[in-house]
Structure 1
Amino acid sequence: MPPPEQDILPPAPPADPAPGRLLLSVAEARAALGVGHTTLYGLLARGELQARRLGGRTLVEATSLRALVAALPVARFATPPGAANDSSPRTSRRGGRRGAIRGTPS
């Protein structure tokens, strides 16, 4: 029996990588975005992320990280084969009948 609709909670918002912080280290920014060193510095070079220098450190602005993520397109995925609305016939990847043994008469 499915639970009543009022018991279903909406998905939790993504965790804020830097609650209350203004700047993140390059390593923290990479971890927050899930990208590598080259990608992060490419985003900085293209102006898609903003950074500040403090002493000898490069620190990425937390607001620019949030803006970058907000500007990314929403991922759309095709319905996987075998889903409820897929009415196409099933065949094996090699073609032919499923379960047929090669060399045996049909």
Structure 2
Amino acid sequence: MAFSDGLHFQAILSPGFQTIGTVMPGIPLPPSSPLSIEPISMRVPDACRFTGISRSTLYLLIARGEVEVVKMGSSTLVLTESLRGLIERHRAGNLGNL
């Protein structure tokens, strides 16, 4: 949808990150923009896509306490901050093995 002031807004959905606007078509807003939104949590399939790990690996990490989840009714919500922490811990561990 284009507005008279020349701004163009679009929704781009991706696991873990949602951009709800662009200043120019094809150029996403920076993460610091007030129009950028990152979810607090996500469902298991989205968490798998976000990290690139399998569903069974994610459940093993949850069982070991490496990934934090919240149960809301029948939904299992994986905390985004927990996934970022997991990746950072493994990244730091891998840097020591180089």
Common fold by TM > 0.5: yes
Whether 2:94 is the aligned partner of 1:74: answer yes
1:55 aligns with 2:54: no
List runs of 5+ in structure 2 lacking aligned partners: 1-13, 18-36
More strand by share: 2
Q: Which runs of 4+ in 1 moved over 3 A?
A: 74-77
Which of residues 23, 44, 68 in structure 1 aligns to 2:41? 23
Across the two proteins, how many residue pairs are aligned to each other? 63
TM-score between both structures, scaled by the size of structure 1: 0.52
> In the TM superposition, what is the alpha-carbon distance from 1:20 to its structure 2 partner?
2.3
* CA 42–20 in structure 1, closer or farther in 2 if over 3 Å, else same: same
Identity %, equivalent residues:
30
TM alignment of 1:1-106, pairs within 5 A: 17-18=16-17, 19-72=37-90, 73-74=93-94
Tell me the amino acid that sits aligned with residue 16 of structure 2: P
Displacement of 1:61 after TM fit?
A: 0.4
Unpaired runs of 5+ residues, structure 1, are 1-14, 78-106
The alpha carbon displacement at 1:54 in A equals 1.1
| TM-score, length-scaled by structure 2 | 0.56
Mark the structure with the bigger radius of gyration. Answer: 1
Bigger fraction of residues in helix: 2
Alignment RMSD (CA, Å): 2.2
